[in-house]
A and B are shown apart, each in its own frame.
Chain A
Amino acid sequence: MSGAMGEPNALAMLFFFVFIAASLGITWFAARRTKTTEDFYAAGRSVTAVQNGLALAGDYMSAASFLGIAGLVALSGFDGLIYSIGFLVGWPVVLCLIAEPLRNLGRYTFADVVAFRLQQRPVRVASAFGGLAVIAFYLIAQMVGAGNLIRLLFGLSYEMAVIIVGGVMLAYVLFGGMLATTWVQIVKAVLLMSGAAMLALLVLAQYAFNPLALFADAAAKFGPSVLAPGRLVSDPIDAISLGIALMFGTAGLPHILMRFYTVPDARTARVSVAYATAAIGLFYLFTFILGFGAMVIVGQDAIRAIDAGGNMAAPLLAEAVGGQAFLGFIAAVAFATILAVVAGLTLAGAAALSHDIWVSVVRRGHADGGEQLLVARGATILLALVSILLGIAFKGQNVAYMVGLAFAIAASANFPALLLSMFWKPFTTAGAVASIVVGTASALLLIYFSPTIQIDLLKHTSALVPLRNPGIISIPLSFVVGIVVSLAMPEAEAAAKFAATERQLHLGEEA
């Protein structure tokens, strides 16, 4: 291998600047059309099904999907595919249970739906808390990933990379709101899909376009065990725990849920999930090829030599099959991927702070459009600064567990409250608050006392909790607490509003 990794790569820089220039152009265009809160949070509800499908895919496919999974497959074969599959199976849940009711009941945030027939202020505070916890951990993971990656890909310093990501993302969200963020996601999704497809084709070209020949070659070079389950899943309960957190967490991610408000109606929301799942599934099928391709063409030792976690497998593969120019393109795509995900997270966080906390709790719903926009933009600046600071504060920390934690909190805090508020008549304000607080707290505590923190990070000899993934305990616990508290303290008003809720859930607002 040539030693291009970690050196400033002129072509990568060029591709990256083209992407930045194009996305800032989109932002400038979007800024002129972003005048109301409806524009800022929901792109004027004018996004089509295909556009939203791609934007959902863009929001969902983080650098972890692209670089992380390709690396895992390259280093451990079949075991890496378990993640590819786990990240996809949550989408039927989003479609069947969440997308359409959310679109019909809410306006900007998922808290709109939880609070629909309950008391606004306690539910808003709790929901915003659950949402912001998910966003914080997701953001830290992305920012730390961005710093490390960009240092390896472009040779920039870690701090510089974090500041650039934070600054460019701030420009998108602050000026262009949801419209700019949506288009950045669409451009990124198309770039990522086409980059991965090109890479897969270049690999398969060496195997007469037969993926099985590639897998057989991998088995011949690295042993038949690369095509079978290995050590990654040693404890089945832990594996199921991770699996259900990935599944139900997808249906509780604030930045994904927020996307359903950008479309005109429930039918468009529904169809957009089908497009999103098609794109994401196809992308994860590409990761099979990319991972095994990197394993045989680059080689496991060469991948480990650059980055022990394998994160550079896909860029190294791009260099091996397409030369410096293609490496530059793939590096720029990876940078764009992080930028877009961070922008989506920040917008969802700004909506929670301004729409849920400021407008609904502090001002009790009495804030005019101008004030709402001002607060939303202030919250965006605040979140961008916080994410840059967190990115720098967590430099050098192992944050691999944080995306898993974000999914676990999303599945344990947001998903149960969302589902029960929409479909279970006896659900009450106290039940919702208890469910969200217990879901968040139990996920956090279980992770803190898990082997991941106690043994891997703090170097203790044992851990109080044997599970690395809290989902199998925290998700049912959150449901049980929500149900028991609701039954113990009934709320006549919430039950009385259920019929109207059900009506709007199916027929939409104009009904």
Chain B
Amino acid sequence: MPSTSPSNHAALESLAAARWRIGLGLTAAMTGIYVVFILLIAYGKGFLGTLLAPGLSVGIALGVLVILAAWALILVYVRWANDHYDREVAAIRGGRR
């Protein structure tokens, strides 16, 4: 077991907290978007049936938007992790040696 300095331990703790916050935040965002979509399906049938253009109902447009939102949330996390998280992990590893 390699020894760890107090500052190293604190850095890991703050990184763990940041990752948890982001992970939970994005999960909550996805859940929220999806639950609102389902509630609209249940209670807003008329609204979702409104045509924005011939062939394009609000429901279909929102359905595509939910898929795009899932992609966007994934992109947000991957960018944060690739840029920030990986650098912090490398710094903590380096600081220990």
Contacts and interface: CB of A to CB of B under 8 A. Distances in A.
Interface of A: 78, 81-82, 84-86, 88-89, 91-93, 95-97, 100, 211-219, 224-225, 227-230, 233, 235-236, 239-240, 243-244, 247, 267, 270-271, 273-274, 277-278, 281, 284-285, 288, 423, 499-500, 502-503, 505-507, 511
Contacts of B39: 236, 240
B78 A92 contact: no
Contact of B38 (A91, A224, A236): A236
Nearest to B96: A511
Nearest to A86: B34
Contacts, number: 160
Interface of B: 1, 9, 12, 15-16, 19-20, 22-24, 26-27, 30-31, 33-35, 37-39, 41-43, 45-46, 48-49, 51, 53-57, 59-60, 63-64, 66-67, 70-71, 73-75, 77-78, 81-82, 86, 89, 92-93, 96
A212 B55 contact: yes
B48 A229 contact: yes
B66 A96 contact: no
A100 B80 CA distance: 14
B70 A89 contact: yes
A285 B67 contact: yes
B63 A85 contact: yes
A81 to B, nearest CB: 5
A281 B49 contact: no
B4 to A, nearest CB: 8
B74 A273 contact: yes
The dominant DSSP class at the B interface is helix
A240 B49 contact: no
A247 B28 CA distance: 11
Q: Is the interface of A mostly helix, strand, loop or mixed?
A: helix
Contact of A219 (B16, B38, B55, B66): B55
A91 to B, nearest CB: 6
A171 B86 CA distance: 40
A78 B59 contact: yes
CB-based closest 6 A-B pairs: A228-B49, A216-B55, A236-B42, A215-B55, A212-B55, A96-B23
B15 A88 contact: no
A353 B34 CA distance: 36
Contacts of A88: 66-67, 70
A506 B34 contact: no
Contacts of B27: 92-93, 96-97
A270 B78 contact: yes
Residue in A89, A212, A270 with the greatest tally of chain B CB atoms within 10 Å = A89
A499 B13 CA distance: 9
Contacts of A219: 54-55
